[in-house]
Structure 1
Amino acid sequence: MNKLISRIDSALKWTLAAFMLSIVLVVSWQVISRYLLNSPSSITEELSRCLLIWIGMLGAALAYRTGVHLGLDIVTQRFNTRNRQRLAMLVSLAVVIFALAVMVIGGGNLVALTFELNQMSAALGIRMAYIYLIIPFSGSIIAFYGCCQLYYLSTNQTMPTVEGLH
């Protein structure tokens, strides 16, 4: 299982790095074409918006994996180790349920609806469903990480750390 987690971590990091590089290049081209060439590109704004959505959703999955998402531990610091572990399991279970119900099922329904309605993006000319696919995809990754966290918590082990991130 550690090997699978490591491969998903690596794919997520490299994908996010590629998307970050892409958005920098797209926005730079937008600035160059608008101010230096006086001929703004028609697709760069929409493409950068789509990249930002994908970066945000995949970044949320990586943030959950690395434990850097927003959290308040002022209350849990007062708990003993056993109760902290129970609370961590409860929180992980809630994350899995949310990711599956809202992101995977709800996002999947959104994707199906936009496919059915054939909703297209204005500038890029692609189906909006392809852009919305990131919601159930990132929800699946978050649910996977949550299930892994539940497994490691139930076996009193620590989940392996993400290599290359500090």
Structure 2
Amino acid sequence: MIVTKLERLLSFVLGALLALMVLDVTWQILTRFLPMNPSSYTEELARYLLVWIGLLGGAYAYRRKSHLGIDLLTNALPERARRATRVFTIALCFAFAAAVMVFGGFRLMLLTFELNQMSAALDIPMGYVYSVIPLSGALICLFSIDQLLQVLGSAERTADIAQPVEAAQV
């Protein structure tokens, strides 16, 4: 499935960004102490890599259902109410990601490109840095749709399986 391949690609990208961040911070430490002339761009690059890893990692964690959650109340609910609560939370996550991250993040990204806002040390357009916001939001929206289809699909399978059992009891 496309979503599974996208998850694998996201995992690879996150690993590559993390490796790049480790190399960047290592270079920062080496240039600070060995020649006593610290590199000017490494701190800013590490900061932007951390932002990208955090936002893309949030989308990855959402896909893997690894975010911290308190499911004490939902586990106590009957199956039908639990499924309805799950659908509601998925829809809420989708709405937040679509409105705030995709729509708002895209507007922020476009605004920084229009204003030609540049980063201080790297001298790159800040729109590239901010582009991770709508990208992560789009991934969360896609993962939400996939989760919603799984929840609704499992409800249909449960109903199909339950039908013959009820008919046999009558």
Could you say whether these structures have the same fold, taking a TM-score greater than 0.5 normalized by the shorter chain as the test? yes
Determine the C-alpha separation between the residues in 2 that align with 1:70 and 1:97: 19
Q: Which runs of 5+ in 1 are unaligned?
A: 158-166
The aligned amino acid for 1:36 is L
CA distance in structure 2 between the partners assigned to 1:77 and 1:10 by the alignment: 30
| Paired position in structure 1 for 2:81 | 83
After TM superposition, give the deviation of residue 130 of structure 1 in Å.
0.4
1:41 partner letter = S
Secondary structure (helix, strand or coil) at the match of 1:124 reads: coil
Write out the 4+ residue segments of structure 1 that deviate beyond 4 Å after TM superposition.
none
Aligned position for 2:160: none
What percent identity do the matched residue pairs reach? 44
State the shift of 1:6 in Å: 1.4
| Structure 2: gaps (5+ residues) | 156-170
Displacement after TM superposition at 1:83 (Å): 1.0
How far apart are the structure 1 equivalents of 2:77 and 2:35?
61
Give, as a single letter, the amino acid of the residue that structure 1 aligns with 2:58. Answer: A
Superimposed CA distance per residue, residues 27-72 of structure 1 (whole angstroms, 9 cap, x where no aligned partner): 0000000011201000000000010000000000011011111211
TM-score under structure 1 length normalisation: 0.91
- 1:106 match: 104
Deviation at 1:22, TM superposition (A): 0.3
CA distance in 2, matches of 1:106, 1:73: 30
Instruction: Count how many residue pairs are aligned between Structure 1 and Structure 2.
Output: 155
RMSD: 0.8
Structure whose alpha-carbon radius of gyration is higher: 2
Instruction: Please name the residue that 1:161 is paired with.
Output: none
